[in-house]
Structure 1
Amino acid sequence: MTIKNQRNLFDIPEDIAYLNTASLSPSFLSIEEAGIEAIKEKSRPYVIPSSDFFEPVSQLKKQFADIIGADDHNRIASLPSVSYGLANVANNVTLKSTDEILVIDEQFPSNYYIWKRLVETYGASVKVIHQPEDRDNCGQLWNEAILEAINENTALVAMGQIHWANGIIFNLKAIREKTRKHDALLIVDGSQSIGALPFSVKEIQPDALVCAGYKWLFGPYGCAYGYYGPYFDDGVPIEENWSNRLYSENLAGLTDYQPQYKPLASRYNVGENGSFIYVRMQSEALRQVAQFPPDIIQEYCDSISTSAIEELVNLGFYVHKLETRAKHLFGVEIPQDLNIEALKQELAKAKIYVSFRGRYMRLSCHLFNTKHDFNRLVETVKSIMTPA
């Protein structure tokens, strides 16, 4: 299956090179339309049935379950953020003072602070697995270091499927196997991969997966998803909201207080998870995402970026080996003698949008991008490297 450029599905002007989906995705035009229609309905609340508090949310969970290969949508929770989903995890984990929580070097803050707080509560410790200095063998050596670090003291491993700044892919299957040998939990942050890189909960079997919805899943900012495995089936959520209780669909009987939660991960849903506007937009976003298989997205992104990467490498930049990194998101290490601030200014003038993480220029692309976007990036870089 070959996918052609899909820029026509977005409202992105031709003079814009947007290579920053890893920060915030643009909306499909259909998502914008869905949101506008939902806003109009809110102006006429009498047309919104009470079933809209529940049925669209259930459908949304089914859509996300399909994307990650989960059989039961009741294992999916509707969340406002990754940090919220991780807080529910931490709320149901107890540690011993000898326990360690393993994280990756320069992990995204939301997937670090929560574990720092948890270990401080129990007098345990966070163990950081640093990125190897050998750039050419970074992917292999980093994965080996992670596997070696998992031992009898490891209580929990928290990490992404890829590194959010440079795109290095982690071998979650092997890491899962090692955590099982030591009865350690595996908590995955899929924010920079789910929707663009192949992933299956059946294959990896994480104890929990949390994922921002506004990046590669193209939803509005302020939405996220969580998958919670059997370990959390009887857990305690960080908030108590009415809609997560059994039989809450019966609005007339809400004050017949119900001690039981709805099945499995439904207890972890955020309050007001039936947000009419957000759910409508999220559902349309996942409908669009489901039309484009992640392996095809990887193939497309590779096809439009390869020649540009080769040119950047020839100019003194560094990009990790193709077989060790993602193709939709990767870091381009900037030469020491290049003025980053000057580069930022020139890219802004040229209407080229990227992210900077330390000395990495992070490039992230999707089906609306073209070879021309990357060629413009290369030409802009050349312009500041050429003596006046």
Structure 2
Amino acid sequence: MILPSQRHLFELPEDLTWLNCAYMSPQMHAVSEAGKASVVRKARPWELKAEDFFTESEALRARFGDLVGGDAEGVALVPSASYGLAVAAMNVRVRVGQRLLVLAEEFPSNVYPWRELADRAGAHVVTVGRPEDGDWTRALLAELDERTAVVAVPHCHWTDGSLVDLVKVGERVREVGAALAVDATQSLGALPLDVAVVRPDFLVAAGYKWLMGPYSQSYLYVAPRWREGRPLEHNWLMRAGSEDFSRLVEYREDFQPGARRFDVGERSNFVLVPMAMAGLRQLLSWGADDIQQTLGALTERVAKGARSLRLEVPPESQRAGHLVGLKRRGGYAPDLAARLAARKVYVSVRGDSIRVSPHLYNSEADVDRLLEELDALV
């Protein structure tokens, strides 16, 4: 279903065209109000109860589980995607000479931890080159064999929205006995994903883009076989019995159940958690399928107009509906994004692509305004 404009829910000036959700989402009024109320609440610590350190973070954990089709026991609350990927890299098993697969031009947070792990284990990071036909799935499967220990991929490429078929890749990963680590930062919330179908070993998502939440509140999903793993840090909340503040000095070796052992310290953040909850609540109300269908209509309008400007666009069948990259032979002027911003039209330049990433606050008029400005500038 195509959803009507939701611009009224966001803090966006009327004369501004924000087609840059992949950079950061504008804040919904509900998220801002949750933050304001939380700041005031934090000013009154005498009103906080011991259970408040658990109840709201547990509710957020459950809502994220609902979003990915997984159980709350598999969700850890982390400050960033890189934190979650560091947890994954600490726990996967890699032998000397094995291969860790990443995509060319992948976001750095999904490259550096695997390079460090490869160095530590005597393994090799193999970069899968960008395929000429745009089919990342085929390119990955061609490299994926019994030598592979880890496949670390996004659901769609962060520079241009080109897709990876996580179901097909996951099936092959399991056949060869490897691990699948997914960075869903640039897709989750706008592109449907079900961990029961994809079956990743680890999945991370930063919360301040397509999940409509605040900066520094992110998520890690951990498959059942890894939930007894090693945490990145040791904080008091992750240990069993931490609900009883009077007995915290009776140090425990056992952990809270499920993926809670991977939670970041101070995960009960009394400002960020309610804000993140407000964002997820609205996303679940809209539904990822309807969000994707609505945004897909907008990016197809972008693609059609861009081709008329002789820009290169991935075929609709090979890209996500919420994010599209526009390439130009010879590239773009280095100040293109700044020149568009001066006209109050906001996109990103990533690699050799103009990255256009709308959301439900955008309309066909926003797309047409972008195309008009591009026509004048490129």
TM-score by length of structure 2 reads 0.97
Query: 1:305 touches 1:371 (CA, 8 Å); kept in 2?
Result: no
Alignment of structure 1 residues 327-342 onto 2, 5 Å = 327-336=321-330, 339-341=332-334
1:345 is displaced (CA, Å) by 4.0
Secondary structure of the 1:54 match is helix
Work out which of the residue numbers 138, 141, 144 in structure 1 matches 2:134. 138
1: CA distance, partners of 2:195 / 2:172:
16
Match of 1:91 in 2: 90
Structure 1 residue runs of 4 or more that deviate by more than 6 Å after TM superposition: none
Work out which of the residue numbers 266, 274, 280 in structure 2 matches 1:280. 274
Residue type of the alignment partner of 1:11: E
1: CA distance, partners of 2:302 / 2:218:
33
Residues 308 and 144 of structure 1: CA distance in aligned 2, closer, same or farther (over 3 Å)? closer
Residue type of the alignment partner of 2:266: E
2: CA distance, partners of 1:344 / 1:178:
40
1:75 is displaced (CA, Å) by 0.7
Residue type of the alignment partner of 1:352: V
Query: 2:337 touches 2:348 (CA, 8 Å); kept in 1?
Result: no
Match of 2:245 in 1: 251
Match of 1:378 in 2: 371
1:305 is displaced (CA, Å) by 3.5
Residue type of the alignment partner of 1:130: G
Is it true that 1:29 corresponds to 2:29 in the alignment? yes
2: CA distance, partners of 1:88 / 1:267:
11
Secondary structure of the 2:305 match is helix
Work out which of the residue numbers 317, 339, 342 in structure 2 matches 1:349. 342
2: CA distance, partners of 1:121 / 1:270:
24
Alignment of structure 1 residues 176-255 onto 2, 5 Å = 176-255=170-249
Residues 312 and 215 of structure 1: CA distance in aligned 2, closer, same or farther (over 3 Å)? same
Alignment of structure 1 residues 106-145 onto 2, 5 Å = 106-133=105-132, 137-139=133-135, 142-145=136-139
Work out which of the residue numbers 303, 313, 327 in structure 1 matches 2:307. 313
Match of 1:64 in 2: 64
Residue type of the alignment partner of 2:294: Y
2: CA distance, partners of 1:12 / 1:178:
44
Moved more, 286-295 or 91-100: 91-100
Alignment of structure 1 residues 14-25 onto 2, 5 Å = 14-25=14-25
1:258 is displaced (CA, Å) by 1.1
2: CA distance, partners of 1:180 / 1:339:
41
Residues 160 and 342 of structure 1: CA distance in aligned 2, closer, same or farther (over 3 Å)? closer
2: CA distance, partners of 1:20 / 1:169:
19
Residue type of the alignment partner of 1:81: S
Count residues in correspondence. 378
2: CA distance, partners of 1:362 / 1:273:
32
Residue type of the alignment partner of 1:5: S
Secondary structure of the 2:21 match is coil
Query: 1:95 touches 1:124 (CA, 8 Å); kept in 2?
Result: yes
2: CA distance, partners of 1:111 / 1:345:
27
The Cα RMSD (Å) is: 1.2
Residue type of the alignment partner of 2:115: K
1:264-286 alpha-carbon deviations (Å, 9 max, x no partner): 20000000000100111111111
1: CA distance, partners of 2:196 / 2:338:
45
Secondary structure of the 2:126 match is strand
Query: 1:191 touches 1:210 (CA, 8 Å); kept in 2?
Result: yes
Match of 1:268 in 2: 262
Residues 144 and 308 of structure 1: CA distance in aligned 2, closer, same or farther (over 3 Å)? closer
2: CA distance, partners of 1:173 / 1:305:
24
Is it true that 1:3 corresponds to 2:3 in the alignment? yes
Q: Identity of counterpart residues, as a percentage? A: 38
Match of 1:369 in 2: 362
TM-score by length of structure 1 reads 0.95
Q: Any unmatched runs of 5+ in structure 1? A: none
